[in-house]
Amino acid sequence: MHVDLRGQVVVITGAGGRLGQRLVHRFARQGARIAAIVLDEDEARRIPFPEDEQAEGYAFPVDVTREELVETCFEQIAHQFGRLDALIHTVGAWDARPLLGTSLDDWEHLMRINLTSSFLCFREAVRVMQRTGTGGRLIGIAAGQGADRGQARQSAYSAAKAGVIRLVESVAAELAGSGITAHAIAPSTILYDAAPGEPGVAAEQIVSLCLYLCTPAGKGLNGATLRAYGAAGPPTG
């Protein structure tokens, strides 16, 4: 899929991860100017910015669970680029343990990484989009466990990913008509260089869905959760 994103500024969180790196590479190839949010300088060095003189990308090391750091980061992005057209928030973490083996720290850790980080990045992206008047896309990564059915031994993860979907729906409803839209993609297991037929969805298909949401047609999916289960099918009990 080719999408002309020349001149548009796309923020990608978790840009040092396997999905994030693919998003950076693909969106930059479509002409987007990339603000890659990473955890630290080590991750920043792994960002695959294209070696094209016309490509523009910068890494911003920040812990996206800390409010003051997220606020500062998005101000820096606004200053660096002058606008913000899309946020793709890939930061998240998975864990599985029985309910009685889940401590409050375990619960709050998954909530912070999966849900609180989504809230903070969405909020600060909207501030910049409203100030610059560009409109834009907010894309969060949920999961089948949040979209359709929680899984055994995954109470914290299932609840956090369901929260991402409710966040997307609420933001979409609140900002309807403003030019800013919100979307969720709910994958099953994301596959990286997997063998054909392995249950799950290929990472490149998630990247293509993100690209599609950044097209004019994607605007019509405001508030929607795109279920991307691939060969895995929807989660079952």
108 backbone φψ class: left, alpha, beta (φ>0; ψ -120 to 50): alpha
- φ, ψ for residue 31, nearest 5 deg: 100, 0
Average pLDDT, the chain: 94
pLDDT at 231: 83
Tens of pLDDT, residue by residue over 189-216, are 999 987 667 899 999 999 999 999 999 9
Give residue-wise pLDDT tens across range 24-44: 999 999 999 999 999 999 888
Whether 47 has a pLDDT exceeding 90, the answer reads no
Classify residue 216 by its DSSP letter.
T
DSSP class of residue 195 equals P
Supply the pTM of this predicted model: 0.96
CATH topology of domain 9-230: Rossmann fold (3.40.50)
Q: At what angle do helices 18-29 and 203-213 cross, to 10 degrees?
A: 50
**E strand intervals along 71-155:** 86-89, 136-141
Q: What integer pLDDT is reported at residue 45 of this predicted model?
A: 86
**Would you list the domain boundaries of the chain?**
9-230
* CA–CA distance, 110 with 220 (Å, rounded to integer): 31
